[in-house]
Chains A and B, each alone.
Chain A
Amino acid sequence: KAGVTQTPRYLIKTRGQQVTLSCSPISGHRSVSWYQQTPGQGLQFLFEYFSETQRNKGNFPGRFSGRQFSNSRSEMNVSTLELGDSALYLCASRLQDNYGYTFGSGTRLTVV
């Protein structure tokens, strides 16, 4: 059974650009969550989707957005990139509520 797949693994972008990250959950998992990890702030919740609906959102500016498709794959988008957006972005999926999460390998974004 394939795990959670995130693409790309590494990304370098320039300030002001936008970026789209992709996450394919484990087959059958309908819940997908996104997290940002930085040395200063640790692991912080971005948003969670279930059956194409955003059910929960963290305290991030509107430049951070996401969506989920009918096949449960999810994308997150960051517009007008800032240097502070440099981070490891992790995606997690689970079958349904009250189950454990499985994380992907992450996308390491560097903004220069």
Chain B
Amino acid sequence: GIQVEQSPPDLILQEGANSTLRCNFSDSVNNLQWFHQNPWGQLINLFYIPSGTKQNGRLSATTVATERYSLLYISSSQTTDSGVYFCAVERRGRINKFYFGSGTKLNVKP
């Protein structure tokens, strides 16, 4: 399969701080998504970003496919940003199967 490594595993921030979450993957991909898992377990799609840069409000993401990594930026963090962030990739040539990282658990304190 493909290895997906996320760092850091845990992150504690004060409200208003910025953060960068990283996702490294071991092979070429044709799909990469970032998700936020809410307290009820649902995976909320943040970005579909197999390459390039996207922004959505306080969140932005960059994937450098040639170097096999993606970054998720959270600016001016809020307590509602707390939760687990997952990176998931679909390996090129081996579609229809997502490989998930182990997640980054973010705790934003007021």
Q: CB within 8 Å of B: which residues of A?
A: 31, 33, 35, 37, 42-45, 48, 50, 55-56, 58, 88, 90, 92, 97-106, 108
CB atoms of A97 and B96 under 8 A apart: yes
CB atoms of A101 and B98 under 8 A apart: yes
Given A42-B103, A98-B30, A98-B31, check contact A103 B42 (CB 8 Å). yes
| B52 contacts A by Cβ under 8 Å | no
Number of residues of chain B lying within 8 A (CB) of chain A: 21
Given A43-B86, A45-B97, A100-B31, check contact A105 B48 (CB 8 Å). no
Given A42-B102, A43-B86, A100-B48, check contact A56 B97 (CB 8 Å). yes
- SS class, residues of chain A in contact with chain B: strand
* Known contacts A33-B98, A103-B43, then 11 further A-B pairs from the complex at CB < 8 Å, ordered by chain A residue: A35-B100, A48-B97, A97-B95, A98-B95, A99-B48, A100-B31, A100-B45, A100-B48, A101-B88, A103-B35, A103-B44
CB atoms of B42 and A45 under 8 A apart: no
Q: CB within 8 Å of A: which residues of B?
A: 30-31, 33, 35, 40-45, 48, 86, 88, 95-100, 102-103
Smallest distance from the beta carbon of B25 to chain A beta carbons, Å?
A: 15
Could you say which residues of chain A place their CB within 8 Å of the CB of B41? 37, 88, 90, 105-106, 108
